[in-house]
Amino acid sequence: MSGANPFLDPARQEELYGHASRLAGRSNALMRAKTTGRPVPDTIVGLVRAHHERPDRLGLVLDLGCGRGTSSLTFAQELRPRRVVGLDAAPALIEHALQRARRMPGLPVSFLQGDFHLLPVAAGSCDVVVAAFCLYHSPRPQTVVAEIDRALAPGGLAVLVTKGLDSYREMDQLVAAAGLDPRAEEHESLYVSAHSGNLAGLAAVSLDVLAVEDEEHSFTFDCHDHVAEYLATNPKYDLAPGLYGNPGALAAPLHEFVPDRPLTTQSIVTFVVARSRGGRP
């Protein structure tokens, strides 16, 4: 599976986001392991309340790359804007998000399939645009930021969120030590196009950056079986056929070649809050 960075390869997006179950399995394994770090949707809500001029009277909130809709639902419940629209390229995830929203009648949230390089909203129509853990899927994140700028009303806020380049590197070490992929530590980071080190710079080209927060998130996976649940969804390794997507098969060589023990790993999560210049240069 070598070649283009899998997070940037259009041919691999169906494999990554074609079924809601992969993203759910990945998130569940990671969240069970989490020991420090605030819940990201709640942190975004706090940043909007702290930086928007009228957070209690928000109009449209756009959640780009909304995935299964978890953040969009939180924004609708906590910020109570006129409407939240979650946008995602993956039809299966939009369908899943719509099903979740149907179980919460009355919540002002809707979901749309679309590409964040060309936002299906009028210029100046959004009070808040969020892009959490998705800009690293774009080979042209600058284009997405320019679209966010176009979509924002004067004084509107963008909240961009990503991870550090070397997130979860202890997992790479484990994969290499178990001989699953001897080059595991040499692959390009999945987050190379939009990461903790370049996110504020990306935002600053079109927007006024108001705040940058780096937060260390720590994770302790109980045992090899738990790590394998997460690793099985990680497209970055060159694994033997039959291992990718198969936690049971992946756990077997881990047990065989490395003593079973908890694995602790970290990721820096970076939040950038930026404001539309509203016509100012």
Ligand X SMILES: C[S@@+](CC[C@H](N)C(=O)[O-])C[C@H]1O[C@@H](n2cnc3c(N)ncnc32)[C@H](O)[C@@H]1O
Q: What mask, x for binding ligand X by CB under 6 A, covers residues 66 to 105?
A: xx--xx----------------xxx--x------------
Among 114-122, 197-205, 209-217, 240-248, the segment contacting ligand X (CB under 6 A) = 114-122
Among 48-56, 132-140, 150-158, 265-273, the segment contacting ligand X (CB under 6 A) = 132-140
Residue 11 backbone zone (phi > 0: left; psi -120 to 50: alpha; other: beta): alpha
48 binds ligand X (CB under 6 A): no
Pick the closer one to ligand X by CB: 17 or 244.
Answer: 17
Q: How far apart are the first and last CA of the chain?
A: 44
Pick the closer one to ligand X by CB: 133 or 225.
Answer: 133
Residue 254 beta carbon to ligand X: minimum distance, rounded to whole angstroms:
24
Pick the closer one to ligand X by CB: 9 or 170.
Answer: 9
# binding residues, ligand X (CB under 6 A): 17
- Tokens 């953040």 locate to 71
In terms of Cα–Cα distance, which of 93, 183, 13 is closest to 5?
A: 13
17 binds ligand X (CB under 6 A): yes
Pick the closer one to ligand X by CB: 70 or 196.
Answer: 70
Among 73-81, 113-121, 169-177, 207-215, the segment contacting ligand X (CB under 6 A) = 113-121
Helix-helix angle 20-33:91-102, to 10 degrees: 70
Q: Which of 137, 217, 236, 275 binds ligand X (CB under 6 A)?
A: 137
- Separation CA 65–CA 93 (nearest Å): 10
65 binds ligand X (CB under 6 A): yes
15 binds ligand X (CB under 6 A): no
Residues that bind ligand X (CB under 6 A): 17, 65-67, 70-71, 88-90, 93, 115-117, 132-134, 137
